[in-house]
Amino acid sequence: MLIKCWKGWELPERAVTDESLFRNRRALLKGIAAGPMMLSAAALAGCGEEATAEGDPASMLASLPPDPSAHLYPVKRNPAYADAGKNYPLTDEDLATSYNNFYEFGSHKNIVRAAQDLKIRPWTVVLDGEVTKEKTIDIDDLLEQMPLEERVYRHRCVETWSMVVPWSGFPLSALVKLAEPLSSAKYVRMETFKDPEMAPGQKQHWYPWPYVEGLTIEEAMNDLAFIATGIYGKPMPRQNGAPLRLAVPWKYGFKSTKSIVRFTFTSERPVSFWEELQSSEYGFWANVNPEVPHPRWSQASEKPLGGGTKIPTLLYNGYAEQVADLYKGLEGERLFM
């Protein structure tokens, strides 16, 4: 049978969020021929450049060596951060871990296979810049030291899809305290690994690798700012940004940097990856606001992954109570871009 292999970027958005297709994808994962939906299901399952002949994605993932931090999970859910899951349905795990944005492994959403080349051990995290003393910490030592908990957060991508997922991890404030920044440090700059041999997207030289993001120290100290090391009660899958990534749910998803290797404390505002590429569309603050459109599309509503219909987008993605105060006196800034 000849099946057209769609490229990730050829996939219409509705194909990804449509429930019947999603069920079909599950059928495909279980090895059941999927009939009329086969075309797009094949695209979701890894047809195209990323596809290799090593079998279906489920068995490919099952054949990976176990994550060395697996024994730490699941962790206890923090009831103060469970509301998102009550008010909005939790995104299905299969979908949140197979529809990904991770340009290091491809500029489309179908990077699960490619991302399995991400080498997650050894992994060290550097805390440097304007700090009392520079530190380098092994990820497993860090995980042992940090107060792990689970939080259900909403995630709103600037492209207008959204999800609700249970992250495991620890407050970013705990890491800031460990770093002991000097009072001169006003920002924390977060950097993803750089290894073009491992992550072929990084061979695309027109992108300003490595991926960089930044927050003010006040934002980083806000209790909502979270370092996620797991999802759905398990260690973080590679495609979602193993072994540690940021989760700042009141900002557009691109702020939530994946696979971080360095936290640098600095008095200068970092220029982030997307800001450097296109500052007229992606700024430093990037707080969610339905009333401030992206130059090329409206931000008024969003499409939950796996859900058929759009829902209204909320100011600060629904987290205004926790974060609006951070921006008092900054009204002159482009806070929502």
Ligand X SMILES: Nc1nc2c(c(=O)[nH]1)N[C@H]1C(S)=C(S)[C@@H](COP(=O)(O)O)O[C@H]1N2
From the annotation, which residues make up the binding site? 100, 103-104, 157, 192, 240, 245, 256-258
Residue 168 interacting partner from ligand X, Mo ion, none (CB closer than 5 to 8 Å by kind): none
Which residues contact ligand X (rule: CB under 6 A)?
A: 100-104, 157, 192, 211, 240-241, 253-254, 256-259
**Single-letter amino acid, residue 103:** Y
Residue 150 interacting partner from ligand X, Mo ion, none (CB closer than 5 to 8 Å by kind): none
Q: Which is nearer to ligand X, 157 or 320 (CB)?
A: 157
Q: Which is nearer to ligand X, 261 or 315 (CB)?
A: 261
Residue 267 CB, shortest distance to ligand X, in Å, is 24
Q: Does 241 bind Mo ion (CB under 5 A)?
A: no
Q: Which is nearer to ligand X, 205 or 328 (CB)?
A: 205
Q: Which residues contact 215 (CB under 8 A, 6 or more apart)?
A: 172, 187, 188, 190, 225, 248, 255
Residue least distant from ligand X (Cβ): 253
Residue 184 CB, shortest distance to ligand X, in Å, is 27
Contacting Mo ion (CB under 5 A), which of 38, 51, 157, 292? 157
CB 336 within 8 A of CB 252: no
DSSP conformation letters of 25-62? HHHHHTT---GGGHHHHHHHHT-STT--SS--HHHHHH
Residue 240 interacting partner from Mo ion, ligand X, none (CB closer than 5 to 8 Å by kind): ligand X
Residues for the chain: how many in total? Answer: 337
Residue 335 CB, shortest distance to Mo ion, in Å, is 18
Residue 102 interacting partner from Mo ion, ligand X, none (CB closer than 5 to 8 Å by kind): ligand X
Residue 260 CB, shortest distance to ligand X, in Å, is 8
Residue 90 CB, shortest distance to ligand X, in Å, is 14
Distances (CA, A) of 298 to 15, 102, 202, 291: 20, 23, 30, 8
Q: Which residues pair with 164 in a beta bridge?
A: 154
Residues binding Mo ion: what is the number (CB under 5 A)? Answer: 4
Output the six-digit token pair for 100: 């990904």
CA–CA gap between residue 2 and residue 199 (Å, rounded): 30
CA–CA gap between residue 326 and residue 314 (Å, rounded): 17
Residue 104 CB, shortest distance to ligand X, in Å, is 6
Q: Which is nearer to Mo ion, 34 or 225 (CB)?
A: 225
CB 40 within 8 A of CB 15: yes
Distances (CA, A) of 91 to 71, 131, 303: 24, 39, 12
Output the six-digit token pair for 239: 């495609």
Residue 192 interacting partner from ligand X, Mo ion, none (CB closer than 5 to 8 Å by kind): ligand X
Contacting Mo ion (CB under 5 A), which of 169, 181, 243, 253? 253
* Residues at the interface with Mo ion (CB under 5 A): 101, 157, 253-254
